Amino acid sequence: MTDTVTATLPIDLGSGPFAVTTRGLARRFGSVRALDGLDLQVPEGAVYVLVGPNGAGKSTLIRTLMGLVRYQAGAVSVLGRDPGDRGAEVRSGIGYVPEDYRVGYAWMTVGRLLEHQAVYHPSWDAEYARELRARYDIDPGRKCHTLSKGQSRRVQLVLALAHRPPLLLLDEPTDGLDHVVRDETLSILSEHLADSPTTVVISTHRVYEVEPLVDHVGVLSEGRLLGQLPRDELRGGLLRYWADVPEGWTGPGELGGRVVRRSGAARAIEWTVWGDRDAVTRGLSQAGAAVREVAPLSVDEAAVALLSGRKAS
């Protein structure tokens, strides 16, 4: 028995400084509103994960920040510039792993592609590029069109990281990689964060993988944010309450929090609530529920709770 309630978490991260902001960002493709009044705020130095179902607008958003998709309404600032009219400038400061696997030109060798990038980016760190290439076991003699998905992904990660850009936009960065290479990528990203001052935006369906790296979370649905907040605030404020309740219990009149999701059986409830832990526990207890456990949610669980609440509305 699961019953869901609409709820939106906070989306205002305050006054910054921000590496990336959008205000009222909108983009339609035909009748589809891919981005529908989106207010993104990515603080400088944050590792921000963008979560949402297929079609929520994650890739469109990232491509808009890159200046690869034109927006139709609103405002965008990426590293202080508008990618709408200064796309090339904006892109030179970004390490980008696109959703698409294809890299370079079919006939080009990987080694030539890396040299090409080194010329384009004055901040290219050749030694770091060599180190990454070795860790990823990339053969520079391979032609781009002969690369598998996983091999392309590794090349794309080297291209994104080796110029140590102030901003990384990673669209499903571990997609197509096997377990060992995925794990190596997480280790590389940890070291990269320790060595270079960087803001990171990661869009992924495998949130559990990057969760230990992440300090900000944005949940996207139908081109809008359902919540945008620091990971610690999500952990502290969105909690799951397990309680035993009397037969026919109808719930408290006043809870001191916002119920995001209700589920459970007749005499035992499992509620996901956004609010102050003590106030919610008191509210449940006063209404006759015996609270057994209160626990934080993983980012994955939080996203599922928020998105399923949305679906039912």
Partner 1 sequence: MKIRLSHADGRPLYVQIMDAVRSGLVRGTLRPQDPLPSVRDLSSSLRVNPRTVSQAYAALERDGVVQVRHGKGTFVAPGVRPEEKERPRLAREVARRALADASRSGLALPDLMTALRELDRDSHGDGRKEDGR
Instruction: List residues near partner 1 by CB under 8 A.
Output: 47, 183, 186-187, 189-191, 193-195, 208, 211-215, 232, 235, 242, 244, 292-293, 295-296, 298
Centroid of chain to Cα 168: 12
Shortest distance, CB of residue 190 to partner 1, whole angstroms?
4
In angstroms, give the least distance from the CB of 110 to partner 1. Answer: 25
Nearer of residues 48 and 71 to partner 1, judged by Cβ? 48
Nearer to partner 1, 80 or 236 (CB): 236
* CB of 105 or CB of 208, closer to partner 1: 208
**How far is it, in rounded angstroms, from Cα 203 to Cα 192?**
18
Nearest to partner 1 of 139, 191 (CB atom): 191
Judged by beta carbon, residue 24 or residue 212, the one nearer partner 1 is 212
What is the C-alpha separation between 307 and 311, in angstroms, rounded? 6
- DSSP 8-state code for residue 109: B
Tally of CB atoms within 10 A around 123: 13
List of residues 6+ apart from 197 with CB closer than 8 A: 45, 166
Q: Please report the sign of the dihedral spanned by the C-alpha atoms of residue 250, residue 256, residue 261, residue 263.
A: negative
**Nearest approach, Cβ of 179 to partner 1 (angstroms)?**
13
Q: How far is the CB of 135 from partner 1 (least distance, A)?
A: 12
∠ CA 9-73-165 to the nearest 5 degrees? 75
Find out whether 148 and 154 touch, Cβ atoms under 8 Å. no
Distance in Å, CB of 203 to partner 1, minimum: 17
